[in-house]
Amino acid sequence: MHHELAGKTVIVTGGAQGIGHAIAELMAQEGARVVVADVKEDQGRAVSAAIGADFVRTDVSDVDDVERLVAHAISEHGGLDVVVNNAGITKFVDFFEIEDEHWDRVQAVNVRSMFFLMRAGARHMKDHGGGAFVNISSMAAKGYRHTSSAAYASSKGGVLGLTRAGAMQLARYGIRVNAICPGIVLSPLNEQWVAEHPEYIGEIPLGIPSLPADIAAAAVFLASDRSRTITAQSLNVDGGLTID
C-alpha cells in the first residue's frame, strides 16, 4: 500500500457488505480515517471493527440521518475530505410490474440520498480546501439490456446527471465529483442472478466479471490526489460491456 489517502477522512455509505465493504477496507488500508454508514447495524459494526473504522447507522434516504453522519465525521475527525456514495438497492422486476412504492424507494435510496450527502458534505468542503465525491452508478445507466428494472436504471442515470451537474457547480470550490459504473460484479447483491445467468458472463469482452475489489481500486484512485484534475467523469469498470 502507498497510503494514497493518508490524513483524509472518508465516508462510505452502504459499507456493511459487498462493494461498500471492499471500498471501506481498501481506503482504510490506504491510510484514510473511514466512517462506515449503513442500515445493517450488526454487519456494519463488524466491518468497522475489522478495519479500524467508525460506524454510524444511517438510512441514507433520511436527510436527518445524513446530516448526523456528516456531523459525526467532522466532529470526530476534524473534517471531511471524501464521500463515497455507494448505498443502493434493486430487485429484478418487469417494467409493468413495478409498483409505485418500489419506484419511489429506489429513487430515494439510489439517487436522492446522494444529493443529500453531497449537499451536506460540500457545505463543509467548500470552506476547507475542497474534497472529492465518488458516486457509484451502474452500467444500467448506459443501456445495459439485462438491467434489473427500469426503476434501477433510471435511478442510476440520475446519479450520472447529479455527478455532472455537481461537478460543474462545485468545481470553483476545489470539489471534484466523479462516478463509477460497475458492470457485472460478484457481490452479495447480485450473486444469485449471476449464478442463474452464466451466459451473461460470456457477453463480457474480457470474459470475466468484476470483483468488489476492482470497484474499490477505482474508488481509491478517484478519491486520491492522483486524480486531482479529473471531475465530471463516469468510469466504466465492466470488462468492456459498455464503451461510452
Rounded distance, CA 113 to CA 101, Å?
Answer: 16
Backbone angles phi, psi at 140, to 5 degrees: -60, -30
Residue 167 grid coordinates: 461537478
DSSP for 67-98, written as a single string: HHHHHHHHHHHS---EEEE---------GGG-
SS3 category, 244: coil
179 CB-near residues (< 8 Å, 6+ apart): 134, 135, 136, 137, 159, 160, 163, 233, 234, 235
**Residues noted as catalytic:** 152
Strand locations in 58-210, DSSP E?
82-85, 131-136, 175-182
Residue 42 grid coordinates: 450488526
How long is the chain?
244
Rounded distance, CA 23 to CA 86, Å?
Answer: 9
